Amino acid sequence: MTWPVGPTVTRPRSENWEYGSPAGNANASPWPAPWPPPHAQPRLLVLDDPFSAVDVATEADVVAALREYTGPGAPAEQRATIVLCSTRLAAFAHADHIVVLDAGRIVEQGRHIQLLTAGGLYARIYRAQQRTHQPAPAAHP
């Protein structure tokens, strides 16, 4: 197991916790410090396919909560940059910048409306996903 680079906490035999490594304290054992410190809010949040195991309604709830808590309307100390990697594109309508990869190469980039208008890979996948998530028409007797 590896620990993040950052300050370490040492625990001397006394109950006092200190940052750093006190000189001459042979009884101190290093413990990883919380990183980032518990009072610091993350400024970068990387989400790797967070919607793969949830339904469309739950996905919408998660996106709304993320925007409320970390988005432009949130208090400055809560705002964060979110890097979202996903094959489900519904959340990308709110993105400031979208990068579309195909076989490991960037094939398109821009804002949601720009990519839809361009009619490329993003637009084709987005429209296909929208069709599959629409409710089926009611059966007529």
Please write the tens of the pLDDT for every residue from 77-125.
888 999 999 988 988 998 999 999 999 999 999 999 999 999 999 999 9
- Over range 13-32, report the average pLDDT: 49
36: preceding bond cis by omega (within 30 degrees) = yes
**What mean pLDDT do residues 52-63 have?**
90
Q: What is the pLDDT of residue 137?
A: 58
In this predicted structure, the answer to whether residue 12 has a pLDDT above a threshold of 70 is: no
Residues 10 and 63 in one domain: no
Is the domain of 86 the same as that of 54? Answer: yes
Portion of the chain with pLDDT greater than 90, in percent: 40
The more confident residue out of 33 and 21 is: 33
117 SS3 class: helix
Q: Are 66 and 11 contained in the same domain?
A: no
Joined tokens for residue 46: 């990387």
Domain that holds residue 5: 1-40
* 87 within a domain of the structure (yes/no): yes
Asked whether residue 89 falls in the same domain as residue 70, the answer is yes
Same domain? For 31 and 57 the reply is no
In a domain, 140, yes or no: no
- Mean pLDDT for the chain overall: 77
Is position 141 within any domain? no
Residue 2 pLDDT: 43
CA 124, 56, 83, 68: dihedral to nearest 10 degrees?
130
Residue 54, domain member (yes or no)? yes
Same domain, 125 and 92: yes
Indicate whether 76 and 23 sit together in one domain: no
Indicate if the pLDDT at residue 141 is higher than 60: no
The 8-class DSSP code of residue 84 comes to E
